[in-house]
């Protein structure tokens, strides 16, 4: 790890002021991606602006039909929240599938989305539920947030403050884990808003993406058979030791089918 | 008076220390004025070093020194030696290319040592290491064992232009060919035994210390055999007298073989400590461990089994190419030969066996012993062949094994070993029963109803442990003896310190060895402590590997105990005014036979150290004895494993539904420790079969360089094991013990792969059987 300056602001404003001054600085949330990269000397921020004391980023609540998750809410809190479990059980379940117990008690939704790891779980829920990502200066629709490999719509120094998820009629997330890392080799989030169905895939491409053919088929009939025979094109899907594009394409169909089955249960 | 301790489930004495964080590992040791080393490692698999510029690095903050291969050469620091000489089929010695501690002109694998930076802090050393500028001319790399000898393959070493270390063979080829010619059936398999990365939880670590006061060196190192480390380093590399070098292997967090060897880092920190007159320390990061710890396995094999009409094995023919990596690691040469081909008889009466092994150099990390070392590879050959033959001949696989079991002991195999004892039918019967094999078909039907495939597989393994009779090992090329040493120091009040040359890095010696001593002496176990891992305390030792600790190290201790008791009897005879031949020793008491006159063990100890009333004319005072024990044969643990898997057809995911292991380890000292060893071994064997596969790309970059890509098995990947033991005591050591450390890793891969191939209805499948691999196999079958 290279040397850096550490800051612990107590408000978003203070954090943003620091970020404006330290152009090579980075926000630190749970540190579960950033600190790893720093230890491997792959990342060398001049300053770390720790968001751990910014209490306004830590709210988790359900308002009517919307689940509001503050940027600094840990995965474990979302997983264990009775309100989230009631409003969008698939979201709580997804949070409970991220990494291991230690990671879930440190990692945050803001950090996960800002990082946009191609194999991360939250992006599937954000895209699958059509969530809105609020930053200190604007609201970004899920469909416009994920741009590519580790690339998002965020501008330098832009702070995610909250994510709002509309509750669907029913939804489920199916994750096929990478045997080694246990991130998503392929994860599929299916959400039925009553006629309007969204299907989002993570792990398979450079970033999370939607699967329109499946959405259409499921909108017509929300049943496993509707997707069971949809063959996904493997072009452009990720290729690594653990899965070829063809295998990933196959898994998208299998996981989508299982997600629909689970959503119907 | 005291209940017998041999065979008791005593809680491990060392666990309190480990579980409360009070263990002292090498990295926990902090010395005044210590400096930190960082190694500059090759980013290329194969390259000529045209120039190294260390000027910038030398000027970086905190830097004390930067050394390269040229500095070591100037100081006449030698290369790393290989401890086993293999003689090839033409009677020529194997090719032993130089193995420099820091590269001399060329690098041969990613992670190869190019230079070392020593600085005041670890971060400064790492920062400066990035400032060392190396000008490389990149050469073509060869990583695949099967391609190492191909025409035009890039040569690693001048002395081995065809990348061949040796071609070696064992067995009677003519007899084997003849048997194949008249066989009713031949089963043939071609497969790869996958390369594994050991991944002990504690990474390698070393601290070199030099003292001007006595011109002595101390090396603290995460190592499995400190005396061997010292011998190799002093005699072969640094040219130092052994009495000036102390090697301490303190608490060590797992080795699995990877900490047997003398590594470049150990030598460099020791040498640098002297140059700088400061302790120099280094601890591997996990990424460095992946790159530079000796890896395991990596065989490409063609194996054939010839059978007659009744399913009797007539002969076996095996051809293996073994990947040794870029250099010869300490025991690399004997693993795919002496510890492999000699085990190909397995549990069977196969009368003729021939095995040819071609060992090659490639641009990959050196390969050496890894839990099981040669024996898992042999078991995989034998047990995959046997199971496949049974399927081809439509004979029940358990029955085919029974038809061929060795039943008369001692048994001389056609591949050099003589098994002293065993009862293979007993472990097989027990495994079939414990695994409820009878009801497998109803479980299979139940799986089918849920849309899943289910399969069952067996493996009946044997291993040669208790390494080794030195004379035998010597005749096979070993450059060291393989005995063990022990010392019993009885203190004046009767408590005992035991010094053993064996080393514990997870095996629980401090408990099981103490059980042996306390049991034999009939004293409370609390009165016995075991000391190991320090050349300045322990008289000598060959260390721990090959499941040898209790069989060889334990026996050395028993021999020393016999001497203690013999001397105690003399003292007791004097004190009790009886004849020595009338003194009996029983559970802590020296008694005059047939009377109630006796002396307690503590009283005798006291008399030995406060010798007021003592037979000074016949006996020295004190109660302290040494013994060296060289075994007369190997020990032969064996067992039967049954694995049941379920396969998800849609994803290719395999789950192990049942795993039954029945082992014969001879006498068991502590069943709880044995169970732990079996569990760990099984997890590692299952890891090899299902999850672990070290992968280099064609250019020699390590693709599986972290735990994000290299998949170690986790608790959830293994079932709750059903295990049991059967016992045929070893005939040639006083404890009747055989060893248990590697069994699980030896037997499990074949059992798992036999089960998966059964579920899929295919002849073979490469390890590791990852979901993608299984899915591809299902796709091929459907096509
Ligand atoms: C062993 C392990 C296993 C894991 N397994 C999984 C898994 O299965 N699935 C999965 O999805 N993830 C997994 N993760 C990643 C984990 O979920 C991380 O927590 C997450 O990716 C990053 O969140 P963080 O809070 O730790 O962010 P950090 O690491 O602190 O930050 C990540 C990046 O986001 C930026 N950032 C943080 N907060 C904000 C903000 N509010 N606004 C703008 N930028 C911000 C930081 O500057 C940094 O660039 C795993 C991690 C580990 C260590």
For the CA atoms of A178, A182, A188, A193, the dihedral, rounded to the nearest 10 degrees, stands at 180
In chain A, the residue whose alpha carbon lies closest to the alpha carbon of B711 is A180
Section A69-84 average pLDDT = 98
Specify which residues B166 forms β-bridges with. B359
What's the longest Cα–Cα distance across chain B? 91
- B573 sits in which H/E element: helix B555-575
Q: Residue B548 and residue B468: Cα distance in Å, rounded?
A: 8
Section B681-702 average pLDDT = 98
Query: Pick from B629, B658, B689: which residue ends a domain?
Result: B629
Mutate to test the interface with A, among B195, B452, B651, B695 (most CBs of A within 10 A): B651
Three-class SS of residue B214? coil
Q: Half-sphere exposure (CA, 13 Å, Cβ side) for B740?
A: 33
| Residue A120 CB less than 6 A away from ligand 1 | yes
> What does the pLDDT read at residue B674?
97
Residues B416 and B546 reside in one and the same domain: no
Section B97-105 average pLDDT = 98
CB neighbours (10 Å) of residue B334? 24
Three-class SS of residue B460? strand
Kindly state the percentage of chain B with pLDDT values over 90: 98
Residues A19 and A74 reside in one and the same domain: no
Give the nearest ligand 1 atom to A57 CA: 41
Min Cα distance A46 → chain B (Å) is 15
Mean per-residue pLDDT of chain B? 97
Three-class SS of residue B474? helix
Nearest to B690 by CA among B655, B650, B657, B721: B655
d(CA B716, ligand 1 centre) in Å:
24
| Pocket-testing residue among A111, A184, A189, ligand 1, by greatest number of atoms within 8 A of Cβ | A111
CATH number of the structural domain spanning residue B591: 3.30.365.10
Residues B103 and B249 reside in one and the same domain: yes
Q: DSSP secondary-structure letter at B449? A: H
What is the sign, positive or negative, of the torsion defined by CA atoms of B274, B275, B281, B282?
negative
Residues B692 and B645 reside in one and the same domain: yes
| Pocket-testing residue among A19, A20, A33, A177, ligand 1, by greatest number of atoms within 8 A of Cβ | A33
**Residue A72 belongs to what domain range?**
55-166
Is A50 in contact with A28 (CB distance < 8 Å)?
yes
Per residue in B11-35, pLDDT (tens digit) is: 999 999 999 999 999 999 999 999 9
Is B371 in contact with B742 (CB distance < 8 Å)?
yes
> What is the band of B1 on the pLDDT scale with cuts at 50, 70, 90?
very low
Residues A159 and A178 reside in one and the same domain: no
Residues B60 and B82 reside in one and the same domain: yes
Give the nearest ligand 1 atom to A35 CA: 29
Residues B427 and B511 reside in one and the same domain: no
Residues B637 and B772 reside in one and the same domain: yes
* Numbered residues of chain B with Cβ closer than 8 Å to any chain A Cβ: 123, 126-127, 130, 287, 650-651, 653, 691, 695, 703-704, 707-712, 770-772, 775-776
Query: Residue B2: is its pLDDT beyond 90?
Result: no
Q: In B261-323, which ranges are E strands?
A: 280-283, 296-307, 313-323
Burial class (CB within 10 angstroms; exposed 0-12, middle 13-18, buried 19+) of B13: buried
| Residue A94 CB less than 6 A away from ligand 1 | no
Q: Residue B398 and residue B487: Cα distance in Å, rounded?
A: 46
Specify which residues B283 forms β-bridges with. B205
Per residue in B242-288, pLDDT (tens digit) is: 999 999 999 999 999 999 999 999 999 999 999 999 999 999 999 99
Residues A138 and A198 reside in one and the same domain: no
Chain A residues touching B651 at Cβ < 8 A? 176, 251, 254
Evaluate whether residue B323 is within a structural domain: yes
Nearest to B511 by CA among B6, B20, B3, B4: B6
Evaluate whether residue B180 is within a structural domain: no
Output the DSSP codes for chain A. Answer: ----EEE--SSHHHHHHHHHH-TT-EEESS-TTHHHHHHTTS---SEEEEGGG-GGG--EEEETTEEEEETT-BHHHHHH-HHHHHH-HHHHHHHHTSS-HHHHHH-BHHHHHHHT-TT-SHHHHHHHTT-EEEESS-EEEGGGTEEETTEESPPTT--EEEEEEE--SEEEEEEEE-TTT-SEEEEEEEEE-SS-EEEEEESSSSS-EE-HHHHHHHHH--SHHHHHTPPPP-TT----SS--HHHHHHHHHHHHHHHHHHHH-
Specify which residues B488 forms β-bridges with. B498, B625
Global pTM exceeds 0.80 = yes
What is the sign, positive or negative, of the torsion defined by CA atoms of A142, A148, A149, A151?
negative
In chain B, the residue whose alpha carbon lies closest to the alpha carbon of A239 is B772
Chain B residues touching A41 at Cβ < 8 A? 126, 130
Q: Residue B483 and residue B469: Cα distance in Å, rounded?
A: 7
CATH number of the structural domain spanning residue B102: 3.90.1170.50
Per residue in A151-190, pLDDT (tens digit) is: 999 999 999 999 999 999 999 999 999 999 999 999 999 9
d(CA B126, ligand 1 centre) in Å:
26
Give the nearest ligand 1 atom to A154 CA: 43
Per residue in B661-680, pLDDT (tens digit) is: 999 999 999 999 999 999 99
Residues B287 and B307 reside in one and the same domain: no
Residues A67 and A152 reside in one and the same domain: yes
Chain B residues touching A243 at Cβ < 8 A? 772
Residues B728 and B743 reside in one and the same domain: yes
Section B546-573 average pLDDT = 97
Residues A73 and A134 reside in one and the same domain: yes
Number of domains chain B contains: 3
Q: Which residues contact B597 (CB under 8 A, 6 or more apart)?
A: B576, B578, B591
Q: Residue B269 and residue B102: Cα distance in Å, rounded?
A: 12
Cβ pair A247:B123 closer than 8 A: no
Q: Half-sphere exposure (CA, 13 Å, Cβ side) for B285?
A: 17
| Pocket-testing residue among A26, A29, A127, ligand 1, by greatest number of atoms within 8 A of Cβ | A29
Number of domains chain A contains: 3
Q: Residue B507 and residue B13: Cα distance in Å, rounded?
A: 12
Residues A186 and A141 reside in one and the same domain: no
Evaluate whether residue B332 is within a structural domain: yes
Chain A to chain B, count of Cβ pairs less than 8 Å apart? 41
d(CA A115, ligand 1 centre) in Å:
6
Cβ pair A180:B709 closer than 8 A: yes
Evaluate whether residue B1 is within a structural domain: no
Is B85 in contact with B479 (CB distance < 8 Å)?
yes
Mutate to test the interface with A, among B127, B451, B650 (most CBs of A within 10 A): B650
Query: Residue A195: is its pLDDT beyond 90?
Result: no
Evaluate whether residue B425 is within a structural domain: yes
Residues B281 and B411 reside in one and the same domain: no
Per residue in B727-745, pLDDT (tens digit) is: 999 999 999 999 999 999 9
Query: Residue A92: is its pLDDT beyond 90?
Result: yes
Section A81-102 average pLDDT = 98
Chain A residues touching B650 at Cβ < 8 A? 254
Per residue in B175-190, pLDDT (tens digit) is: 999 999 999 999 999 9
Residues B358 and B436 reside in one and the same domain: yes
Evaluate whether residue B145 is within a structural domain: no
In chain B, the residue whose alpha carbon lies closest to the alpha carbon of A258 is B650
Burial class (CB within 10 angstroms; exposed 0-12, middle 13-18, buried 19+) of A195: exposed
Section B221-248 average pLDDT = 97
> How large is the C-alpha radius of gyration of chain A?
18
Place of tokens 């032993």: B96
Per residue in B145-159, pLDDT (tens digit) is: 999 999 999 999 999
Cβ pair A41:B126 closer than 8 A: yes
| Residue A31 CB less than 6 A away from ligand 1 | yes
Residues B578 and B666 reside in one and the same domain: no
Q: Which residues contact B74 (CB under 8 A, 6 or more apart)?
A: none
Three-class SS of residue B717? helix
Specify which residues B247 forms β-bridges with. B219
Min Cα distance A252 → chain B (Å) is 10
Query: Pick from B629, B655, B682: which residue ends a domain?
Result: B629
Section B584-605 average pLDDT = 96
Residues B644 and B773 reside in one and the same domain: yes
Q: Residue B470 and residue B482: Cα distance in Å, rounded?
A: 5
Structure tokens at A79: 């997983």
Candidate from A41, A180, A247 with C-beta closest to B775: A247
**Residue B670 belongs to what domain range?**
299-468+633-782
Cβ pair B707:A3 closer than 8 A: no
Is B665 in contact with B738 (CB distance < 8 Å)?
yes
Evaluate whether residue B324 is within a structural domain: yes
Structure tokens at B15: 């666990």
Query: Residue B3: is its pLDDT beyond 80?
Result: no
Cβ pair B710:A180 closer than 8 A: yes
> Which ipTM was obtained for this model?
0.96
d(CA A262, ligand 1 centre) in Å:
27
> What does the pLDDT read at residue B90?
97
Query: Pick from A131, A151, A166: which residue ends a domain?
Result: A166
Specify which residues A191 forms β-bridges with. A171, A198
């Amino acid at each position: 790890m290279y040397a850096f300056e550490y800051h612990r602001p107590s408000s978003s404003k203070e954090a943003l002021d620091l970020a404006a001054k330290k152009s090579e600085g980075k926000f630190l949330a749970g540190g579960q991606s950033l600190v790893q990269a720093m230890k491997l000397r792959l990342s060398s921020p001049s300053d770390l602006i720790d968001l751990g004391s910014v209490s306004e980023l830590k709210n988790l609540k359900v308002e009517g039909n919307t689940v509001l998750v503050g940027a600094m809410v840990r995965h474990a809190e979302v997983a264990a929240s009775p309100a989230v479990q009631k409003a969008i059980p698939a979201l709580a379940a997804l949070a409970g599938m991220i990494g291991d117990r230690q990671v879930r008690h440190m990692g945050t939704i803001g950090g996960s989305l800002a990082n946009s790891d191609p194999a991360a779980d939250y992006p599937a829920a954000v895209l699958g539920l059509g969530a809105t990502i609020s930053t200190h200066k604007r609201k970004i629709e899920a469909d416009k947030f994920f741009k590519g490999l580790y690339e998002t719509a965020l501008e330098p120094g832009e702070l995610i403050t909250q994510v709002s998820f509309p509750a669907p009629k029913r939804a489920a997330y199916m994750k096929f884990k990478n045997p080694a890392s246990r991130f998503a080799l392929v994860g599929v989030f299916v959400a039925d808003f009553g006629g309007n169905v969204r299907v989002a895939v993570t792990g398979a491409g450079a970033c999370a993406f939607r699967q329109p053919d499946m959405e259409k088929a499921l909108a017509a009939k929300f049943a496993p058979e509707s997707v069971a025979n949809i063959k996904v094109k493997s072009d452009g899907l990720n290729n690594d030791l653990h899965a070829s594009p063809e295998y990933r394409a196959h898994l998208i169909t299998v996981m989508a089918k299982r997600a629909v089955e689970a959503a119907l249960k | 008076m005291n209940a017998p301790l041999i065979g008791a489930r005593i809680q491990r004495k060392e666990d309190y220390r480990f579980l409360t964080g009070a263990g002292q590992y090498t990295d926990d040791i902090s010395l005044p004025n210590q400096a930190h080393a960082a190694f500059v490692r090759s980013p290329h698999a194969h390259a000529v070093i045209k120039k190294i510029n260390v000027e910038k690095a030398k000027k970086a903050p905190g830097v004390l020194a930067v050394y390269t291969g040229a500095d070591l050469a100037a100081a006449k620091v030698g290369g790393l030696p290989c401890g086993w000489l293999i003689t090839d089929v033409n009677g020529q010695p194997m090719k032993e290319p130089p193995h420099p501690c820091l590269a001399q002109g060329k690098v041969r694998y990613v992670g190869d040592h190019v230079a070392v930076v020593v600085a005041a802090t670890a971060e400064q050393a790492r920062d400066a290491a990035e400032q060392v500028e190396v000008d490389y001319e990149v050469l073509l790399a060869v990583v695949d064992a099967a391609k190492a000898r191909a025409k035009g393959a890039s040569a690693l070493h001048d002395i081995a232009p065809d990348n061949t270390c040796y071609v070696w063979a064992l067995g009677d080829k003519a007899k084997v060919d003849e048997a194949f010619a008249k066989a009713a059936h031949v089963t043939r398999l071609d497969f790869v035994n996958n390369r594994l990365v050991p991944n002990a939880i504690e990474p390698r670590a070393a601290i070199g210390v030099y003292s001007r006061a006595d011109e002595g060196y101390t090396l603290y190192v995460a190592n499995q055999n400190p005396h061997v480390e010292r011998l190799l380093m002093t005699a072969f590399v640094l040219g130092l007298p052994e009495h000036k070098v102390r090697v301490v292997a303190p608490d060590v967090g797992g080795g699995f073989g990877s900490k047997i060897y003398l590594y470049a880092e150990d030598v460099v920190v020791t040498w640098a400590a002297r140059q700088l007159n400061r302790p120099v320390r280094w601890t591997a990061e996990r990424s460095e461990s992946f790159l530079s710890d000796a890896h395991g396995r990596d065989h490409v094999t063609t194996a054939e089994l010839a059978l007659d009409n009744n399913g009797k094995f007539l002969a076996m023919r095996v051809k293996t190419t073994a990947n040794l990596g870029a250099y010869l690691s300490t025991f690399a040469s004997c693993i795919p030969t002496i510890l492999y081909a000699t085990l190909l008889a397995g549990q069977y009466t196969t009368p003729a066996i021939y095995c040819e092994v071609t060992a090659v150099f490639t641009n990959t990390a050196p390969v050496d012993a890894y839990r099981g070392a040669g024996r898992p590879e042999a078991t995989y050959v034998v047990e995959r062949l046997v199971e496949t033959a049974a399927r081809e001949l439509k004979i029940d696989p358990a029955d085919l094994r029974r038809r061929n079991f060795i039943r008369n002991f001692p048994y001389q195999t056609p591949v050099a070993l003589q098994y002293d004892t065993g009862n293979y039918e007993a472990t097989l019967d027990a495994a079939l029963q414990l695994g409820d094999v009878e009801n497998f078909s109803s479980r299979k039907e139940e799986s089918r109803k849920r849309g899943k495939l289910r399969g069952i597989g067996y493996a009946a393994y044997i291993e040669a442990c208790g390494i080794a009779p030195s004379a035998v090992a010597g005749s096979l090329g070993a450059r060291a003896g393989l005995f063990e040493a022990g010392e019993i120091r009885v203190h004046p009040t009767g408590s005992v310190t035991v010094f053993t040359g064996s080393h514990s890095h997870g095996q629980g010696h401090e408990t099981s060895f103490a059980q042996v001593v306390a049991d034999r002496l009939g004293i409370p176990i609390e009165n016995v402590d075991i000391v190991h891992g320090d050349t300045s305390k322990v008289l000598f030792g060959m260390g721990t590997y090959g499941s040898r600790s209790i069989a060889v190290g334990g026996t050395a201790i028993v021999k020393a105990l016999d001497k203690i008791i013999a001397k105690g009897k003399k003292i007791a005879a004097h004190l009790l005014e009886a004849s020595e031949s009338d003194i009996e020793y029983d559970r802590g008491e020296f008694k005059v036979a047939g009377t109630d006159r006796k002396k307690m063990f503590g009283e005798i100890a006291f008399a030995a150290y406060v010798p007021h009333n003592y037979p000074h004319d016949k006996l020295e005072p004190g109660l302290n004895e040494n013994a060296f024990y060289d075994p007369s044969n190997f020990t032969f643990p064996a067992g039967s494993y049954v694995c049941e898997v379920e396969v998800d057809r849609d994803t290719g995911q395999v789950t192990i539904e049942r795993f039954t292991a029945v082992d014969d380890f001879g006498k068991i000292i502590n069943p709880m420790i044995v169970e732990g060893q079996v569990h760990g071994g099984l997890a590692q064997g299952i890891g090899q079969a299902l999850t672990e596969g070290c992968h280099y790309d064609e250019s020699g970059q390590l693709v599986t360089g972290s735990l994000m890509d290299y998949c170690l098995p986790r608790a959830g990947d293994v079932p709750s094991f059903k295990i049991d033991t059967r016992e045929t005591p070893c005939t040639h050591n006083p404890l009747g013990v055989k060893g248990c450390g590697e069994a699980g890793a030896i037997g499990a891969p074949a059992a798992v792969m036999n089960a998966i191939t059964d579920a899929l209805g295919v002849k073979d499948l490469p390890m590791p059987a990852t979901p993608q691999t299984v899915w591809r196999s299902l796709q091929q079958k459907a096509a």
